Amino acid sequence: MRIGIMGDGISGLHLALRLQQLGIDATLFGARSPEAVRNGRALNFVVRSGSTRRREALLGVDHWTSPDTLAEARTVVVHGPEPLSFRADPHPAYSVVDFRLYLPALVETYIARGGRHVVTDLTARTAHDAACDHDLVVVAGGRAAGELFPRDPGRSPFDAPQRILCGGLYRGVGEAVPRAIEFHVMPGVGEVLRMPFHCADGRVDVLGLEAVPGGPLEPVCRIPYDADPARFHSAVLDALHRHVPDLRERVDERAFRLNRPTDLVQGGIVPVVRRAWRALTDDTYAFAVGDAWIVNDPITAQGANLGSHCALETAEAIAAGPPYDEAFCRATEERMRPYADSVVRWTADFLRPPSPQLLDIFRAADADPAVGAAFAANFDDPPAMWHSIADPEHTAAFLAGARSRPAAPASSTVAVAATGSQGHSRGQT
């Protein structure tokens, strides 16, 4: 068996590392060398969940466990006419490491274990060339994704970005809760994210603005940094003052700045689900995983975690043996579909105005920490999350199971204990 893997993001790397463990010959194709990724612009600001960290432990690449690489708490704040707030802490903690550190380290681990890494353009032509000497070409990223796999209109509810994004690594931002991810929701305006992050310069903070297109936050997200850094910083601070004043109060204006000019990501993402496979030759197929298959808006922080999940599912399907034909591609997609569809639907729901059932969960979490804890657990279980918010009946069932149970009154407890003690004494007599 010879497998070609195009794309050395988290999906391609986790797939390559798992196939390597299983003794399957694979070639990993990437667009840049590890050193070029290390020294390049920020790619994204990924939060890796407990399930992804467990997969990393399986792969032997759980390299980041120190406290400054972890987010141990999460707070959710809804601003507006009905302010709500609650904690939804992850267990285990999330890992928050710059992919400019993470991806090169995994590529180098793969190479050190005997793997082949080829730097080349990730185009459809490269995929066709790889089909000549591989039994299956798995596409995990690059231009080849859009060139090979058409959009699946039945599973892609949006045809334009639903948020205009402006995220960066900053200095001078204070925490309300140590090592916490803060998620601020402003209905009709967008979201603001603040979280601790570990990069080459050590501990910094991610500050992400996610603007509803046409809303008051969009112009801020479109301001270029390089032309006038002072104007950019001033506009970000003003946006925090107007929309999340409690966060603005924790910013030290004298120290506030982008960590480096290359630590900023701006733009918009069109969420899309693509067809999962196509024939490259008469007997060799291309199969899509990760961003080549599904591109998610970052609002639910599920892109990398979904990519890792699908990579290991694909590895197990490959390990079951050839032929890697259309039937294999169809069965492997169906194997991943329930988990992936949950992520897609959940993310689409969060991009729309809050549904009544989602607000019901937020209200309950505001009043009862047990609901916040159950909601947090579902972030690492997309099928459970989608089931809990899909309709009012499911939400009611989720809340019924999540709410704290009222403790028995102290007087009743004492009375029962006394009765039990007396009964025991009489029995002995």
In a domain, 82, yes or no: no
Q: How many structural domains are present in the chain? A: 3
User: Residue 250: how many CB atoms within 10 A of its CB?
Assistant: 15
Q: Are residues 28 and 152 in the same domain?
A: yes
Q: Are residues 148 and 209 in the same domain?
A: no
In a domain, 229, yes or no: yes
Q: Are residues 152 and 171 in the same domain?
A: no
Burial class (CB in 10 A: 0-12, 13-18, 19+), 129: middle
In a domain, 72, yes or no: no
In a domain, 53, yes or no: no
CATH number reported for the structural domain that contains residue 42 in this entry: 3.50.50.60
Q: Are residues 212 and 332 in the same domain?
A: no
Residue type at position 294: I
Q: Are residues 111 and 171 in the same domain?
A: no
In a domain, 333, yes or no: yes
Residue type at position 213: P
Cα–Cα distance measured from residue 258 to residue 205, given in angstroms and rounded to the nearest whole number: 10
37 close to 104: Cβ distance less than 8 angstroms: yes
In a domain, 418, yes or no: no
Cα–Cα distance measured from residue 311 to residue 336, given in angstroms and rounded to the nearest whole number: 10
Paired sense of beta strands 25-30 and 116-119, if any: parallel
Q: Are residues 39 and 113 in the same domain?
A: yes
Compute the residue count for the chain: 429
Domain boundary among 268, 302, 334: 268
Q: Are residues 193 and 319 in the same domain?
A: no
Q: Are residues 398 and 374 in the same domain?
A: yes
Q: Are residues 154 and 288 in the same domain?
A: yes
Chain-centroid distance of CA 425 in Å reads 60
In a domain, 290, yes or no: yes
pLDDT at 416: 36
Q: Are residues 335 and 252 in the same domain?
A: no
Q: Are residues 277 and 263 in the same domain?
A: no
Domain boundary among 244, 268, 292: 268
Query: What CA–CA distances, in Å, run from 101 to 38, 58, 206, 308?
Result: 6, 20, 16, 17
- This prediction has a pTM of 0.93
Q: Are residues 249 and 174 in the same domain?
A: yes
Cα–Cα distance measured from residue 373 to residue 369, given in angstroms and rounded to the nearest whole number: 6
Query: Which of 310, 300, 363, 379 shows the shortest CA–CA distance to 82?
Result: 363
DSSP string, 57-100: HHHT-----SGGGEE-EEEEEE-SSS-EEEE---SSPEE-B-HH
* Domain hosting residue 174, numbered range: 164-268
Enter the tokens of residue 105.
Answer: 């380290």
Long-range contacts of 424-429 (CB under 8 A, 24+ apart): none
377 close to 333: Cβ distance less than 8 angstroms: no
Domain boundary among 268, 294, 329: 268
Walk along the chain (429 residues) and give the pLDDT tens digit of each residue: 899 999 999 999 999 999 999 999 999 999 999 999 999 999 999 999 999 999 999 999 999 999 999 999 999 999 989 999 999 999 999 999 999 999 999 999 999 999 999 999 999 999 999 999 999 999 999 999 999 999 999 999 999 999 999 999 999 999 999 999 999 999 999 999 999 999 999 999 999 999 999 999 999 999 999 999 999 999 999 999 999 999 999 999 999 999 999 999 999 999 999 999 999 999 999 999 999 999 999 999 999 999 999 999 999 999 999 999 999 999 999 999 999 999 999 999 999 999 999 999 999 999 999 999 999 999 999 999 999 999 999 999 999 999 997 755 554 443 333 333 333 333 333
In a domain, 103, yes or no: yes
